[in-house]
């Protein structure tokens, strides 16, 4: 699914005199690609994916989701063709693994037999076979991530939105989850928008890295990542990776400094 975002503006009216979170974002997120949104904290990258996911309503501007080759009339409203994997995961603590994964199908009114069969497949896909009946509170951080991923994948939506899902993981688990995501992406060929603030993660995962400015959020630059897939951690030491890293670091450094300046000013006030 191609995602067209046009002149997207988001103003938080309830915070003081109004905070401009997004300031005229226009971009085409191409179908079947993994696109990383990179920017300093508070730059509105989470807000952007939440608007695309139909979770937040934009103050102004439009989001259109169109199947490749489809016409204007076929465009779906935000959220109708996407599912979110949340920063805090938001697993339901009172449900075990399989009932968390099958939640969406249960809401759609599918019988227990049908939804459990499908849930088992996806639990196997994310590598959690035999953990179906485990309580989520008894799982490690990485396993919870897998549950959240399976719960999103079961919705069978063409667009997967991921809001810094791996931010809280330890370094080793993060590497494993990045490889898992890449494997699933190659297998399922969804359009994935992946929010992150880690440059190496963005290069390792993305077909395209969208670098955003400090608040108010705009798109600073879009960088194509042509590294061959499958990618692995060893690539981090390659010269191509290094060149991309330096380039993005240079872009993002200015914005991080700008964001820090904004925070200092807010603190003084």
**Least Å from the CB of residue 93 to other proteins:** 5
Which residue among 135, 156, 240, 254 contacts other proteins (CB under 8 A)? 135
State the Cα–Cα distance between residues 61 and 182, nearest whole angstrom: 32
**Residue 107 found at the interface with other proteins (CB under 8 A):** yes
4 binds other proteins (CB under 8 A): no
CB of 187 to other proteins, least distance (A): 22
- Phi and psi, residue 69, nearest 5°: 85, -10
Map residues 66-85 to x or -, x wherever contact with other proteins holds by CB under 8 A. Answer: -------------x---xx-
Of 197, 78, 208, 103, the closest CA to residue 153 belongs to 103
Please give the C-alpha separations between residue 116 and each of 71, 100, 160, in angstroms, as whole numbers: 36, 11, 22
Residue 227 binding other proteins, by CB under 8 A = no
Residue (of 194, 165, 236) closest to 38 by Cα position? 194
Site string for other proteins, 9-38 (x = CB under 8 A): ------------------------------
**Nearest alpha-carbon partner for 255 in 197, 168, 193, 194:** 197
Q: Which residues bind other proteins (CB under 8 A)?
A: 53-55, 79, 83-84, 86, 88, 90, 92-94, 103-104, 106-108, 135, 137, 151, 155
């Amino acid at each position: 699914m191609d995602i067209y975002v046009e002149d997207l503006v988001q103003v938080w009216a309830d915070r003081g005199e109004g905070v401009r979170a997004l300031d005229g974002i226009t971009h085409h997120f191409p179908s079947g690609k993994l696109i990383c949104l990179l920017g300093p904290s508070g730059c509105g990258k989470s807000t952007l994916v939440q608007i695309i996911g139909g979770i937040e309503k934009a103050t102004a501007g439009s989001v259109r989701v169109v199947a490749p080759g489809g016409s204007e009339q076929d465009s779906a409203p935000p959220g109708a063709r996407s599912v979110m994997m949340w920063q805090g995961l938001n697993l339901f603590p009172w449900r075990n693994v399989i009932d968390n994964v099958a939640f969406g199908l249960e809401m759609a009114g599918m019988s227990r037999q049908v939804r459990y069969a499908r849930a088992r497949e996806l639990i196997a896909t994310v590598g959690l076979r035999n953990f179906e009946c485990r309580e989520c509170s008894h799982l490690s951080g990485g396993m919870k991530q897998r549950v959240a991923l399976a719960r999103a994948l079961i919705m069978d939506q063409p667009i997967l939105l991921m809001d810094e899902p791996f931010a809280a993981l330890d370094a080793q688990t993060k590497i494993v989850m990045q490889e898992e995501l890449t494997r699933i992406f190659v297998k399922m060929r969804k359009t994935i928008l992946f929010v992150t603030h880690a440059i190496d993660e963005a290069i390792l995962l993305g077909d395209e890295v969208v670098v955003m400015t400090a608040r108010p959020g705009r798109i600073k630059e879009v960088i194509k990542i042509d590294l061959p897939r499958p990618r692995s951690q060893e690539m981090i030491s390659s010269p191509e990776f290094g060149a991309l890293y330096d380039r993005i670091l240079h872009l993002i450094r200015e914005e991080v400094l700008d964001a820090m300046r904004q925070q200092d000013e807010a603190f003084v006030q």
